Amino acid sequence: MATFHQNVEMYFDSAAKHLKHPKGLLDQIKSCNAVYRMNFPVKIGSEYKVIEAYRVQHSQHRSPTKGGIRFSEHVNQDEVMALASLMTYKCALVDVPFGGAKGGIKINPKALSVSQLQRITRRYTAELVKKNFIGPAVDVPAPDYGTGSREMAWILDTYMALKPGQIDGYGCITGKPVNQGGIQGRTEATGRGVYYSIKELMSYKDDMKAIGLTTGIAGKTFVVQGLGNVGYHASRIIQEAGGIIVGLAEYEGAIYNAKGLDLDAVVKHRKNTGSILKFPKAKSMKNSFEALELKCDVLIPAAIESVITKDNAKRIKAKIIAEGANGPVTADAEQILLKKGIVLIPDMYCNAGGVTVSYFEWLKNLSHVRFGRMEKRFDEYANESIVTMVEKMTGKKVQKIERNLLTKGADEIDLVNSGLEETMISAYRDIRDVRKRKSNTITDLRTAAFAVAINKVANDYLAMGIFP
């Protein structure tokens, strides 16, 4: 079976053959520019252990490079190179001006104490600083699988200690706690982006009719694999929009109820029992991969890569697969799924919400001002004047609840969510437009998305004059 990185390169090649760029330019876009593998000692318990870690900068066509850091026993160079490559194409696709990067530390975070994790994270940061692989204008990491705002705070503190006096130093990392230069909405950004991608796909009547669905999320059935940051928030927002979560899967197993599951009740049950299994009025399955084969309208693999392969692709019953995780569908499995008429929303678009809001956080750190601070009250006063004018003209009084809604100025979270929705809508329309214009040769969304991204990166290189 092809490796994760080889799968990404196959997707690239599949799209590149529809473009007219010179081979040398395409080879440069596809190549990883820098791969930093490091080994460093950290005291774990009473002994020292050598930790294996990586940082890959795929492309510097835009600066800085950008990409998350994951903590996992399965981290390896191939995986980090694949993820860094996807970050380049993802950023280009959603018009975020970064090159792609990714990092990883080969550890099991669940087997380590908080103090041990902190020592490893800080030492990793020091290694990145030593080789100039981190900085607000160089390379900006973010959370990924196994990491969160806590780890980003450790990285920020270590960086600022080693680089004192940098006025834009807080821009060296994103996904930070809000009170340490983070931004409202970052935690749920990737899951919200998954929701927006599905919502936009399902807004086109003809496209939905072709796969036997009506438009809109309300009333549609969903199965979600993974109840981490991405899967949980995607499920929550989909449920709030009227979607029916019929199946949920975690590493310990899966549960199913054709009439729908109460997400918060499931989360509470797991917190109390340590497992989603034996949830009341739901069928339990000890093999979590069985959830992928459940009947539903939309399947969201939101855990790890390569969970849908040529071995189980033929048994997938969903009409739409939204790739909340990175690389959950292998290249050979995708061919089987496409032949079955299943629509795949590719990861490089579907889970771009995280990097989009990370971009907003980076801008906030460089501008040193919270979004909404300058205009919120001005907008409220202007809106209040309009409402008062309407009342005078109509002779009717606007009720207090309606007045508050009409006059409210945008908070940071409102602006972040608005910017994210606009980004996801615009990117999908670019993808759909390419697929429609090149319908004779490009028939799937992934190839169209890669074509859009490659063109944008190529245009940057051409503008530099490197490839006349």
Set 66, 102, 176, 199: catalytic member: 102
Taking each helix axis from N to C terminus, what angle separates 77-93 and 412-437, rounded to the nearest 10 degrees?
90
One-letter identity of residue 161: A
Cα gap 141→103, rounded to integer Å: 8
Cα gap 403→412, rounded to integer Å: 21
**What does DSSP say about strands 221-225 and 139-143: parallel, antiparallel, or unpaired?**
unpaired
- What size, in residues, is the chain? 468
Task: Identify any residues that bridge with 132 across adjacent strands, giving them in sequence order.
Answer: none
Cα gap 420→417, rounded to integer Å: 5
Tokens 């918060």 sit on residue: 264
Tokens 């900006």 sit on residue: 140
Contacts 24+ apart (CB under 8 A), 370-379: 370/412, 371/183, 371/412, 371/415, 371/416, 372/409, 372/410, 372/411, 372/412, 372/414, 372/415, 375/409, 375/410, 376/409, 376/410, 376/411, 377/409, 378/409, 379/409, 379/410
Question: For residue 118, how far is the Cα from the chain centroid?
Answer: 25
Q: Which residues contact 180 (CB under 8 A, 6 or more apart)?
A: 153, 156, 170
Q: By the 8 A CB rule, do 138 and 104 touch? A: no
Q: Is 408 a catalytic residue?
A: no
Q: By the 8 A CB rule, do 134 and 393 touch? A: no
SS3 275: coil
Q: By the 8 A CB rule, do 162 and 126 touch? A: yes
The neighbour count for residue 370, using CB atoms within 10 Å, is: 15
Cα gap 430→442, rounded to integer Å: 14
- Look up residue 397 and give its DSSP letter: P
Active site residues: 102
